[in-house]
A and B are shown apart, each in its own frame.
Chain A
Amino acid sequence: MSSEQQPGVIVVDRGHPATRDGRGLARGIGVVLRHLRDAFGPRLERPEQTSGVFTVQYPEERTPLPEASRNLPILLFDDDSGHELCTSCYQCERICPPQVIHITQARDPASGKAVPAIDEFILEYDACMSCGLCAEVCPFDAIKMDHAFELSTATRDPLTVDRAGLARPVSYYAQLAPQAWAEARDGAMKKLQGSRRRRTGTVGMTPARAAPPAADEPAAPTAGAAPASQPASGEPAAASDAKAARLAAIRARNAARQREGGDS
């Protein structure tokens, strides 16, 4: 078949069966033995090395994550004022391919007018596929991708995370992604000043700051922790019913808002 040899085409060499008398096997075992020896040697440190200890003893040892690494979305708030960067522009809710973001906009308690802040923000971590489109689309740099990946829970309910559970201080993100934040910082903070001018009272403040936390409530949720406001008790079926009802309420409220003429 290899008679019509074309330029740029190579026919793979099948070797010579006649010379195969166990030497191929011996060579292969030689490779394995060499690696067995090296397995007691030093840790493989540079990617050019192909022999040595490659395994990392997780969870005791961890390899650092690159800055771009993304896992699940978080909502940023300003360290000093406690104000969230999110203005409920609904961009992330619209772009999200699996549609796991649910937002309602805050209203001024006195006038009832919509303000650039969130009232509710629910993200279903269990259905999120970590694509990062929400963080990419966000014009206010309010939603970012976290590096935390140890999120296992015993039940599914803590994975429906609300505003309090998603909140992370800006300083936390700045430490995760120093370069990306250095580029985004000025614009994000300027936009936050703009939206703060239209917020009153505790509207738009992260829940932990808006109401001083109770003694049993952690002030700043650690990465991956279940949101503090989620009821720990209650049978699972009731909890998921409650979740469905909550999401339905959000949808209904947003539909009503759109009928009103979408004052944003």
Chain B
Amino acid sequence: MTGFLALVNHLFDILVWPFRSLHPFYSLTVFSLLTTVFTLIVFRYASDQPAMRRVKDRLQAHVLEVRLFPDQLPLVLRAYSRLLAGVLIYLRHSLKPLALLILPLLLILVQLEAHFGRIPIRVGDNFLLKARLSEIAALDQVSLRLPQGLRSTAPALHIPDMREIDWRIQAELPGRHRAEIMVGDRAFSKQILVATPLTRPSPQRVRGSLWEQFLHPGEAPLPEDGPLERIEVQYQPRKFHFGSFEIEWLAPFLIMTLIGAFALKGIFRTEI
């Protein structure tokens, strides 16, 4: 699994690489387009396309029915009941492609979240580095080693109830830094990105199930037999600006994939 995730990481890093000097919106657009094409192809081959078309035609017919016979209340109500039934049938036809898409899309979305969800820390900014341990007893054995470019600005904060210890750190130099958390004589590192171009900040390094690793693919997992459960860096969420609106990447991604799907479905001859 780790190898597979590393491969996926590598693949997405390659895909993002040409856009590293551009605004992230451009690469998000490309990913939206690729995702749309992939989804359309899966829908085309995994669903009963003639049946979907029939259902959609019927749905549209019932909408037109409401328009054509507005003065006949029983007809309008019947059209509505048939519309609702048609929607359920349509969703039933969508189940198979949706089931097939769920894992690949999760993989894509996790990767996109890794690339577009957070921004690296800016030089001069303060941030928290958190470590959670598996046993409270080890809390007193924890220390932190910071590389040049990162500076601790406050003593470590111990939170025994949560088996957690937090450090307040200031970024002083740009670069890919690695902080080391010592628990006894064992060292555990955590990547910290400061003022790098479009890269993949890893907010958490985790230990645990495959699912956890799947959702946090940025770094190799913590050892299973180690004292640490999780190391977390609090990166700020990335915002896209549209006029006076500030939104996270998921909204434009969804809108672009939906618009793309409706624009490209004719080319790919896919009924959605």
Question: Does chain A bind chain B?
Answer: no
Please give the residue numbers on chain B whose beta carbons come within 8 Å of chain A beta carbons, in ascending order.
none
Please give the residue numbers on chain A whose beta carbons come within 8 Å of chain B beta carbons, in ascending order.
none
